[in-house]
Structure 1
Amino acid sequence: MEARPTRRNALLLGLSLAAVPAAATLATRFAPAAGAAVQAVNLDDPAKKEIAMKIVCSAENSSLDWKSQYKYIEDIDDGRGYTAGIIGFCSGTHDMLELVELYKTRKSGNILAKYLPALRNVDGSDSHAGLDPNYTKDWATAAKDTVFQQCQNDERDRVYFNPAVSRGKSDGVRALGQFAYYDAIVMHGDGSDGTSFGGIRKRALTKAKPPAQGGNETTWLNAFLDARVWAMKQEEAHSDTSRVDTAQRVWLRNGNFDLNTPLDWKVYGDSYHIG
């Protein structure tokens, strides 16, 4: 569930609420002509969802090839035990336990089922008790199984992607805003405390209103990203905010609310492109 710790120094762009007028001007500049029929495409559109998976993978795994991450597993020393899979399921934050339980439901004799007692015991901690020395090897073996791959896809959608898109739609934000919500839930979780998604959104509401409440989309997303950056800086492992500053802020500044390609961004100083 959690983001990888900072790998290298990032080049920070930094766009504050003071830049909203310029961003709004750019949004107007790229708006369609009056009377043009435009159907906004949400992030759950298959093509947009693929883009979202690639962007998150650039931050989580320094790659655009998210489908190669089913086998990923390591302890990144962030206090959450093992982090693994396409979205960073963690042994210390319950989502890895739920994933392996789902895998057992769909394939009872799988190679990871024997670790369920240990996963229940280490849930909420950074302990590897009962998992070492073979858990990482067995995870990589399980990752070759299409049943386990689909379990990862389904849990990613249930826990992270679908809630983010649903909340984005209810707030009246388009694909970019829905992605900002998704990336926040991936890193911070979908809770209500100060540094979770709910806490971030609550903090943003003290500065602006979402479009569904009559607010301006640019103003709202800047407020949300400001609150997101604040939350990231509360924890050393997340203190590099380039996945916001040199990615989401750039697209917002350019008025790319529909997250249309081509997209160019930087995370931890590395450059990425989707044509």
Structure 2
Amino acid sequence: MRIRAGHVRTVALGGGIAVVLCAPLAVSVVAGADDNVLISRGRPALATSNTGNEVAARANDASTVTRWASAAGPGTQWLRIDLGSVQRIERVRLNWSGAYARTYRVQASADGSNWATLYATSAGNGGADDLKRLNGTGRYLRVLATQRARTTGGYALSDLRAYGPSAKVLPAAATPTGSLVSGLDDRRKKERALELVSSAENSTLSWRHSFAYIEDIGDGRGYTAGIVGFTSGTSDMLAVVAEYTRRKPVNGLAKFLPALRAVDGSDSHAGLDPGFPAAWRAAAQDPVFQRVQENARDTYYFNPALRFARADGLRALGQFAYFDAAVMHGVSGMRAIRAAALRTAKTPAQGGDELAYLNAFLNARVAEMRTEEAHSDVSRVETAQRMFLRRSNLDLTTPLTWHVYGDQYRIAQ
């Protein structure tokens, strides 16, 4: 729960995985009265989920009888086409099956991470949507469906066609790596989340170098230490030292347990000075103490946040937003922020638009942070999580670039 103090406040303005690779076909189909040609047919298709054999490629084949159908249930699903190189996208035709989206976006991306919306509606009525004069550019085309029209089922597209000027090949972006549609239960996605938290808690992406960190940052919580800022004033530091002593009774921190119990709930150092910081740093070299810190992080913050986020139907970005809120405010504080967000938006599990709900959650988080002077720098939200949201990067797909407390960070893959 470390809070960076003394910084100027800055505010930015403002299932399963279905992967089907299809051999690209050299197809040039005239789109109609204009000079555009079909640029999407047979290109590799990816979707967040599918039902049976109704996989992503079924919306991108030569048949309007076959279809892609997502898994049943509320929440966000998407279908993505890899055009092979950066292309001009001027027209998109969609043919929805009965399970259509009331709210959806058509988006383009050069890198599969940062998405620009070419078209958006919250009044979809199914059938055929012929979207012209889109004026987009990207290697990837995505239909992002965020609200169902029906109370049951999922989403289904029988046909998706993208048209552009011709087969002009522009420089291709690097293909994103990792599991695109997984949540933070995926090892690589969790690592990204830990690096994101570490950029705010410890001013580094190398969170494993922070086991020995300890200081009083003047936030009213006493000593702040370790990989997620355990503090002597909020019980979690006490729990970490107690568990370490249970596993390894003879250690340099055990003698400070009575003092940690006495100062819990305050910012006092009584009984901890002058030896406690040095003892913490020495213990941090012990692999047993390192494992205790990691287990405490997951038990007190990561796992509870992930359970709440999954129940709310949130993808990786929302799961991280809950985790980061839990680290700073505790799980009870995260739940209070969630309750405030629910007063203005529904979760995806309730049938709400995921982007709208996450925006409401981040608004509530910022409002809570500003109730304390020590939290007044809200850049860990506004120039990090909010930027990912504005780019529609719900899956925390790399590359990720953000700023925290004036410092820039990047995760390439």
Q: Give the TM-score normalised by structure 1.
A: 0.90
Q: Which deviations, in whole Å up to 9, do the C-alpha atoms of 1:143-192 show, x marking residues without a partner? A: 0000000000000000000111111100000000000000101111111x
Structure 1 equivalent of residue 402 of structure 2: 265
Aligned pair 1:235/2:346, yes or no? no
Aligned pair 1:47/2:188, yes or no? yes
2:308 to 161, 164, 167: 167
Counting helix residues as a fraction of each chain, which structure ranks higher?
1
- Kindly report which structure 2 residues correspond to 1:17-166, keeping only aligned pairs within 5 A, or say none: 26=107, 31=142, 40-166=181-307
Structure 1, unmatched stretches of 5+, are 16-22
Aligned pair 1:12/2:11, yes or no? yes
1:246 to 374, 377, 383: 383
Structure 1 equivalent of residue 83 of structure 2: none
Give yes or no for contact 2:306–2:323 (8 Å, CA) kept in 1: yes
Structure 2 equivalent of residue 185 of structure 1: 326
Take 2:180 and 2:227, find their aligned partners in 1: how far apart are those partners?
A: 30
Give yes or no for contact 1:6–1:239 (8 Å, CA) kept in 2: no
Aligned pair 1:223/2:364, yes or no? no
Give yes or no for contact 2:231–2:237 (8 Å, CA) kept in 1: yes
Structure 2 equivalent of residue 20 of structure 1: none
- CA displacement at 1:35 relative to structure 2: 7.3
Give yes or no for contact 1:10–1:269 (8 Å, CA) kept in 2: no
Secondary structure of the corresponding residue to residue 266 of structure 2:
coil
**Identity of paired residues, percent?**
55
Structure 2 equivalent of residue 3 of structure 1: 3
Aligned AA (1:31): R
Take 2:394 and 2:228, find their aligned partners in 1: how far apart are those partners?
A: 24
- CA displacement at 1:31 relative to structure 2: 2.7
- CA displacement at 1:44 relative to structure 2: 2.0
Give yes or no for contact 1:24–1:218 (8 Å, CA) kept in 2: no
Q: Which deviations, in whole Å up to 9, do the C-alpha atoms of 1:4-39 show, x marking residues without a partner? A: 2243x3653233xxxxxxx96656666359579x97
Take 1:157 and 1:35, find their aligned partners in 2: how far apart are those partners?
A: 42
Change (3 A) 1:35 1:73: farther
Task: Give the superposed CA RMSD.
Answer: 2.0
Give yes or no for contact 2:182–2:316 (8 Å, CA) kept in 1: yes
Take 2:205 and 2:158, find their aligned partners in 1: how far apart are those partners?
A: 37
Take 1:216 and 1:229, find their aligned partners in 2: how far apart are those partners?
A: 20
Structure 2, unmatched stretches of 5+, are 15-103, 108-114, 119-140, 145-156, 160-178
Take 1:158 and 1:31, find their aligned partners in 2: how far apart are those partners?
A: 36
Q: RCO greater where, 1 or 2, for CA within 8 Å and sep 6 or more? A: 1
Counting strand residues as a fraction of each chain, which structure ranks higher?
2
Take 2:6 and 2:344, find their aligned partners in 1: how far apart are those partners?
A: 29
Structure 2 equivalent of residue 19 of structure 1: none
Take 1:106 and 1:156, find their aligned partners in 2: how far apart are those partners?
A: 17
Aligned AA (2:198): C
Change (3 A) 1:161 1:239: same
Secondary structure of the corresponding residue to residue 271 of structure 1:
strand
- CA displacement at 1:199 relative to structure 2: 1.2
Give yes or no for contact 2:398–2:411 (8 Å, CA) kept in 1: yes
Take 2:206 and 2:105, find their aligned partners in 1: how far apart are those partners?
A: 33
Take 1:74 and 1:208, find their aligned partners in 2: how far apart are those partners?
A: 39
Q: Which deviations, in whole Å up to 9, do the C-alpha atoms of 1:193-221 show, x marking residues without a partner? A: xxx11111111011000000110100000
Secondary structure of the corresponding residue to residue 331 of structure 2:
coil
Q: Which deviations, in whole Å up to 9, do the C-alpha atoms of 1:86-145 show, x marking residues without a partner? A: 000000000000010110111011110111000000000001111100100010000000
Q: Which deviations, in whole Å up to 9, do the C-alpha atoms of 1:251-273 show, x marking residues without a partner? A: 10111000010000001111110
Aligned AA (1:44): D
Aligned AA (1:211): P
Q: Which deviations, in whole Å up to 9, do the C-alpha atoms of 1:47-77 show, x marking residues without a partner? A: 0111011111111111111000000000011
Take 1:270 and 1:186, find their aligned partners in 2: how far apart are those partners?
A: 20
- Max Rg structure: 2
